[in-house]
Each structure stands twice: as C-alpha cells, then as structure tokens.
C-alpha cells in the first residue's frame, strides 16, 4: 500500500488544478461536494464526490457523509484504478520523455528556463529527461502550503478505506487516456508558461482550499474558471471530452450495483459537467447534506 500511495501521489501531482468557464446549470445551488444519483432504472442510489487531490494535513478532512456514502456503495470508482498493476506500470513511465527538454530550446531559452526552475528548487540538468507532466508536478508541489511530509492525498485515503472494506475498485479511464488528454492540453511551451505564474498559483490554491473545506461549490467553481490557467482548447481536452467519456461509462457501473465515484471537483459543474450530463440522461442528481 505504501508504494501504491507513492505512485498515486505522482499521478495526482501530474494533473493540474483544473479550471473552467462558469456556466448556468439546472443543478441545485446548495453547498455540497457530495451528490446522490438515483432514478432512471437504478435499483439503489450511487454517489459522486468532488475531491481536492492534494491537501495539507491541517486542512484535510473527509466529511462523515462522504464516508457513509462510501460504506453504502458496492464499488469505489476513481479517475484511474491505482490497484491495477498495468496502470501502475503506465504511471511509472509517464514522467519520462524521449527528447530532452534542452534539445527543444535555444541556449537563451534554456537559460531562462533554468532561472525559472531555480524558484522550484531544481535546475534544467536535473529534469532534462522529464516530460511536461513532470514539470507541471513542480508547479503543483510548490503551490501546496506545506511540506510533502505533511501532505494528504484525498483519493488515496478513500482508496485505503475502500480496500479495507473490500469494495470493488474501478477506474473511469486508463492512464494512457489521461496522459493523452494532458498532452493535448499542455505541451512543453504552455507548461513553462504556467511555471512562470507560480506565485499566482499559490494564491489561487489557498482560495480553493478554503472553498473546498467549506463545501462552497459555487465559490470553488468560480475560482476554477480563472482563464489565466486554462484556455478553451485545454478545457475541452481536460474537462469536456473526459466528462463526456466518463458519463458514457458510469451508467453500466451504477446499473446493478451502487457505485461511489471520486473525481476532481472541477468535473462536476459547468455545461459539460458530470452532474448536468447525468441529468440530461434522465438521472436524478441531487446534493447531499447528510446521510
């Protein structure tokens, strides 16, 4: 399990704190990051919880209602199934690239990048064989307002409980699919541009943490929409396309058994968010205040 958590940490760091444009939806505005899915032929309800991938210990809490919803469910479904050995092998390869970063830049550009990387406690020589996802991991790590020894991984904590309770563990997508989306959204150039905004990320991260702790879904959603960190193409690759693919998969997982889905909070709302997409398929999706 220790190795599993370590690999999960690497995977979660590679995924940016997703942002998206605000949309009007027909979802209930009640503050909640836990939602119940029922109706449309389901024999028993399933649940969706919006997560915050990485938190400091002082900010970390899994609400009792979230734990109860997991206990009531047969399946625990993450974005990726971290218990699948094949997926773990794919994760181990995700941070390497065939073409060195220095080979993709002029000497002047490499010098500038080296200066930027100094702010993240490293240099170009140390990360020259890394992928854009590995570079983005630096950004996520720096934005966290505590040391790595104090970090808690929300999905990994839920996963450990699910394994202890002998739940069926499933994933909504494969590592290769997620990496394809990330590669489409963030090439090396755009990743470096994001690295230049490290301080702005730190401010945004703190605001998002407070919104998450208060289950203020609308405030959290408003923060996600900041266009400094995501353009239309990136939104389509990282949110819209993936949400639509997931919602095609979810009905089969909910049909015979109750499923508990844990996905990044940014995937819930918006015109192409999981909640309105499921509602458009005829499901009743409503916020949960308590269980």
| Highest-scoring range by mean pLDDT, 26-35, 51-60, 175-184 | 51-60
Number of residues that this document lists for the chain:
291
- The mean per-residue pLDDT over the stretch 99-127 comes to 87
DSSP H or E stretch at residue 71: helix 64-72
Give the separation between CA 155 and CA 161, rounded to whole angstroms.
10
Q: Considering only the C-alpha atoms of the chain, give the largest distance between any 2 of them, rounded to a whole number of Å.
A: 62
Classify each residue of 19-37 as buried b or exposed e, where b means 16 or more C-beta atoms within 10 Å of its C-beta.
bbeeeebebeeeebbbbbb
| 261 closest CA partner among 12, 1, 33, 31 | 33
Could you tell me where the beta strands, DSSP code E, fall in the chain?
A: 34-38, 46-51, 54-56, 75-78, 151-153, 168-171, 259-264, 284-287
Alpha-carbon torsion angle 90, 95, 98, 101, nearest 10: 160
Least confident window among 163-172, 195-204, 262-271:
195-204
The pLDDT assigned to 64 comes to 95
Question: Residues 6 or more apart from 142 whose CB is under 8 A from it?
Answer: 119, 120, 198, 201, 202
**pLDDT, position 30:** 63
Quick: pLDDT tens for 216-237: 777 776 776 677 777 888 888 8
What are 75-105's pLDDT values in tens digits? 999 999 999 999 988 877 776 777 888 888 8
Instruction: Read off the tokens for 276.
Output: 């309105």
Q: Write the pLDDT tens digit of every residue in 233-284.
A: 888 888 899 999 999 999 999 998 999 999 988 888 888 889 999 999 999 9
Is residue 27 very low, low, confident or very high in pLDDT (cuts 50, 70, 90)?
A: very low
Domain locations along the chain? 2-96+131-287
């Amino acid at each position: 399990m220790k190795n599993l958590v370590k690999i999960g940490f690497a995977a979660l760091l590679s995924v940016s704190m997703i942002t998206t444009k605000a949309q009007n939806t027909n979802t209930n505005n009640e503050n909640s990051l836990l939602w119940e899915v029922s109706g449309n032929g389901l024999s028993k309800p399933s649940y969706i919880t919006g997560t915050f991938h990485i938190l400091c210990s002082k900010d970390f809490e899994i609400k009792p209602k979230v734990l109860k919803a997991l206990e009531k469910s047969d399946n625990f479904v993450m974005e990726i199934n971290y218990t699948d050995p094949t997926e773990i092998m794919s994760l181990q390869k995700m941070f390497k690239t065939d073409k060195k970063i220095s080979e993709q830049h002029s000497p002047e550009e490499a010098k500038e990048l080296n200066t930027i990387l100094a702010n993240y406690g490293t240099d170009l020589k140390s990360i020259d064989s890394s992928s854009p996802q590995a570079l983005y991991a630096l950004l996520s790590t720096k934005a966290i307002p505590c040391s790595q020894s104090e970090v808690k991984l929300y999905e990994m904590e839920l996963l450990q409980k699910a394994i202890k309770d002998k739940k069926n563990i499933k994933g909504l997508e494969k590592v290769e699919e997620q990496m394809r989306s990330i590669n489409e959204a963030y090439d090396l150039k755009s990743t470096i541009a994001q690295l230049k905004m490290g301080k702005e990320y730190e401010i945004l991260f703190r605001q998002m943490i407070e919104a998450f702790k208060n289950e203020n879904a609308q405030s959290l959603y408003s923060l996600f929409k900041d266009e400094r960190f995501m353009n239309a193409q990136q939104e389509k690759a990282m949110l819209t396309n993936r949400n639509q693919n997931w919602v095609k998969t979810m009905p089969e997982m909910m049909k015979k058994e109750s499923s508990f889905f844990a996905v990044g909070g940014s995937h819930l709302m918006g015109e192409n968010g999981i909640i309105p997409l499921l509602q458009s398929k005829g499901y009743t999706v409503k916020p949960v205040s308590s269980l």
